[in-house]
């Protein structure tokens, strides 16, 4: 079967493309923006990529067109599909019908931490020789690929609350029917499709309704709005995790090892491990993954061994290079909470050394300016702040720079930003680049400029 994917370079749709290819289908795809790491891994798998959404990409009339949720009526490719009557469906529906039937699905949902937690969980199952399939919104370093079919019934999926397609406005995760569910956290986001936090809570409750009575829901007790979602009705056994709870899962950090921490269950220490990723939030992600793996039959001591061998995820505090003593990191943070937690984790790791925060506020919510009043505080731990003004942003990063003070500057030209960073960075500095887009490949431009 020839499958053509519209929006193929998105993290989810790219994963669908990989699964379809591994299942033996001929796969091609179109996207407005084709950039690494997704484009690199798709091309390495022999998948044909096409720039833009021209109708001519579909002239061969593929057997199936899988439509990404970034496309809408008026798009030339969408109009061609509808006019020709080509068979089409959403990515989540295709995944549910072709890969998730009769599988033990372990899903990770929440505003933050989905990619890291799903990657940890998939790696724990792999380490336990359970050979899971997975679809993750990033590239785990332990696998070097964002999706695979797997060899057993276990399938780990990053469960996103964003809508499914222009013809299906339900959240993507309601298609997945998980047996094990992690609820990491919940904040207001995706302001382009949700009016308020209650809208999002309603979608999370729809997800809870799909979990069977012999399944398991593992949720963050520290998050009030998640407790409210559970309180709306729950028909599945639950386990709680928190930073310092006395019941359920929690953790205690090592006093003499930045990487080490103990896992606590119902007030009792059950083992210790180390995690390469900085920050308390990542340790809590690891605890949640341990709880979910136990539900799938993995002994806790095996999970802790796996965590210590976890290598991280591309674009999640990924060290992209070190030039003349300056370290350059790439991170996906684009919500004020994620920005703050990422900076806190890096600060804990580097102590008093200088941190340069380089931010592209390019998500739909950030472009709308929904969280701009929280951004100044979220960047507090950075010594210098460089703000990029993406096109079509409805607010001024220059105004934010003025609000922050002399440590912040605003830029509308990437090359000018690179020149300024280069002129100010010295050995021992850490440059943290944060964006959920391509950011015009600023990481490589910086590395090349600083050589």
Per-residue pLDDT at 279? 87
Distance CA 311, CA 289 (A): 15
Q: Which CATH superfamily is domain 102-308 in?
A: Mur-like, catalytic domain (3.40.1190.10)
Distance CA 72, CA 79 (A): 9
Assigned fold of 318-450: 3.90.190
Per-residue pLDDT of 264-303, as tens digits, reads: 999 999 999 999 998 899 999 999 999 999 999 999 999 9
Contact residues for 199 (Cβ-Cβ < 8 A; gap 6+)? none
Q: Which residues does residue 1 pair with via DSSP β-bridges, in sequence order?
A: none
Per-residue pLDDT at 33? 80
Distances (CA, A) of 161 to 40, 53, 174, 362, 419: 26, 25, 8, 18, 38
The residue ranges of the chain whose pLDDT is under 50 are none
Enclosing H/E stretch for 49: strand 48-51
Residues of the chain with CATH 3.40.1190.10: 102-308
Per-residue pLDDT of 357-391, as tens digits, reads: 999 988 877 878 888 888 999 999 999 999 999 88
- Whole-prediction pTM value? 0.88
Q: Which residues does residue 219 pair with via DSSP β-bridges, in sequence order?
A: 183, 240
Residues of the chain with CATH 3.40.50.720: 2-89
Distance CA 117, CA 285 (A): 5
Per-residue pLDDT at 275? 96
Per-residue pLDDT at 362? 85
**Long-range Cβ contacts of 345-349 (<8 Å, 24+ apart):** 345/277, 345/278, 345/279, 345/280, 345/281, 345/282, 345/317, 346/278, 346/279, 346/317, 346/381, 346/430, 346/432, 347/381, 348/258, 348/278, 348/279, 349/258, 349/278
Angle at alpha carbon of residue 254, lines to 286 and 334, rounded to 5°: 45
Per-residue pLDDT at 395? 87
Per-residue pLDDT at 131? 97
Per-residue pLDDT at 39? 82
Assigned fold of 2-89: Rossmann fold (3.40.50)
Residues of the chain with CATH 3.90.190.20: 318-450
Distance CA 238, CA 240 (A): 7
């Amino acid at each position: 079967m020839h499958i053509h994917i519209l929006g193929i370079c998105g993290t989810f749709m790219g994963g669908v493309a990989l699964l379809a290819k591994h299942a033996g289908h001929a796969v091609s795809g179109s996207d407005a923006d084709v950039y690494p790491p997704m484009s690199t891994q798709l091309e390495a798998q022999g998948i044909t990529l096409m720039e833009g959404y021209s109708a001519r990409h579909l002239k061969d009339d593929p057997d199936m067109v899988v439509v990404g949720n970034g496309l809408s009526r008026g798009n030339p490719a969408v109009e061609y599909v509808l006019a020709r009557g080509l068979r089409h469906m959403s990515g989540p529906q295709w995944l549910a019908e072709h890969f998730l039937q009769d599988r033990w699905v372990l899903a990770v949902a929440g505003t933050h931490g989905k990619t890291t937690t799903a990657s940890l969980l998939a790696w724990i199952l792999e380490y336990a020789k359970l050979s899971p399939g997975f679809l993750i919104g990033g590239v785990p370093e332990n696998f070097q690929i964002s999706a695979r079919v797997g060899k057993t019934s276990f399938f780990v999926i990053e469960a996103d609350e964003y809508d499914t397609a222009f013809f299906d406005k339900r959240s993507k995760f309601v298609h997945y029917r998980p047996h094990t569910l992690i609820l990491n956290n919940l904040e207001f986001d995706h302001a382009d499709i949700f009016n308020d936090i209650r809208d999002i809570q309603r979608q999370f409750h729809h997800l809870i309704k799909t979990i069977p009575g012999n399944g398991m829901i593992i949720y963050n007790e520290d998050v009030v709005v998640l407790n409210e979602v559970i309180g709306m009705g729950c028909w599945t056994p639950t386990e709680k995790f928190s930073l310092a709870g006395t019941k359920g899962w929690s953790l205690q950090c090592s006093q003499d090892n930045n990487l080490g921490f103990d896992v606590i269950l119902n007030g009792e220490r059950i083992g210790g491990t180390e995690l390469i990723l900085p920050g308390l939030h990542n340790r809590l992600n690891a605890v949640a993954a341990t709880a979910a793996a136990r539900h799938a039959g993995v002994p806790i001591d095996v999970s802790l061994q796996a965590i210590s061998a976890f290598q991280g995820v591309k674009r999640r505090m990924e060290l992209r290079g070190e030039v003349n003593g300056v370290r350059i990191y790439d991170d996906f943070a684009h919500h004020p909470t994620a920005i703050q937690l990422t900076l806190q984790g890096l600060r804990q790791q580097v102590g008093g050394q200088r941190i340069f925060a380089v931010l592209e506020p390019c998500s739909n919510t950030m472009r709308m300016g929904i969280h701009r009043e929280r951004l100044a505080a979220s960047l507090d731990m950075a010594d210098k702040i460089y703000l990029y003004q993406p096109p079509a942003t409805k607010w001024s990063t220059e105004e934010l720079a003025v609000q922050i003070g002399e440590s912040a500057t605003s830029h509308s030209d990437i090359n000018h930003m690179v020149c300024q960073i280069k002129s100010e960075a010295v050995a021992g500095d850490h440059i943290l680049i944060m964006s959920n887009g391509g950011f015009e490949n600023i990481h490589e431009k910086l590395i090349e400029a600083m050589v």
